[in-house]
Structure 1
Amino acid sequence: MSIQRFHTGPRMSQAVVHGDTIYLAGQVGEPGSDVTNQTKECLAKVDALLAECGSSKENILSTTIWLADMADFGKMNEIWDAWVPQGHTPARACGEAKLATPDYLVEFMIVAAKP
């Protein structure tokens, strides 16, 4: 089975497709903006990468969300709930973690099916 890599750099690829499964690297928003804007930016990147890989948010299998502060859980969920297609919600986990820089407030990791 072949492996396709998208936007590959020296450290990582933004997306990897193996068979009918798509793995996205952690997606972050513009450093320094608030969690609402960073969440919107993350999900826009997810949409674009999934489209490039031949899929869409309706095919997301699982999502892992990292928040720098769980106090932002509600604000992030407001954006997530408006974005995720009802009836196609994936398995999901959300936790608090130190991200790559204190300016990142949220990061999304996605695994999706390729129809």
Structure 2
Amino acid sequence: MSIERQETAQRMSRIVIHNDTVYLCGQVAKDANDGITEQTATMLDKVDALLKQAGSDREHILSATLYIRDMKDFAAMNAVWDSWVPEGYAPARACVEARMARPELLVEISVVAALAK
């Protein structure tokens, strides 16, 4: 069985495809100086772009793990998430509070999806 890696650097690949499953590396906001709403929206825009590049989309997400710097932002993050996930296609999901790689980052996501055929 083959493993396809896209946008591979020394530390990680942004996309890995194996057995019709797409694995995305952690995605963060386009601008870490924005608030939680904008950080969540631009993070999800990046997920959309990578899924499209891999041959998948939101309707094929199997699981998502969200890391949020402070649970005080949970409701605002969920408002963006809830409007982004297509009705009837909610993936298995976990959300945990975590220290981020940089203090200005408020949210990060890791996604696993099926290829769209």
Fold similarity call, TM over 0.5: yes
Distance 1:13 1:104 in 2: 21
The alignment's TM-score, normalised by the length of structure 1, stands at 0.97
> Shift in Å at residue 4 of structure 1?
1.0
Q: Which 5+ residue runs of structure 2 have no aligned equivalent?
A: none
Give the equivalent residue in structure 2 for 1:24.
24
Q: Is it true that 1:4 corresponds to 2:1 in the alignment?
A: no
Gaps of 5+ in 1: none
Q: Where does residue 73 of structure 2 map in the other structure?
A: 72
Structure 1 residue identity aligned to 2:9: G
Question: Matches of residues 1-115 of structure 1 in structure 2 within 5 Å?
Answer: 1-29=1-29, 30-115=31-116
| Shift, 1:55, TM fit | 0.5
- Deviating 4+ runs (over 6 angstroms): none
Partners of 2:108 and 2:81 lie apart in 1 by 12
Percent identity reads 53
| Structure 1 position 5, deviation (Å) | 1.0
Distance, in Å, in 2 between the alignment partners of 1:11 and 1:103 is 22
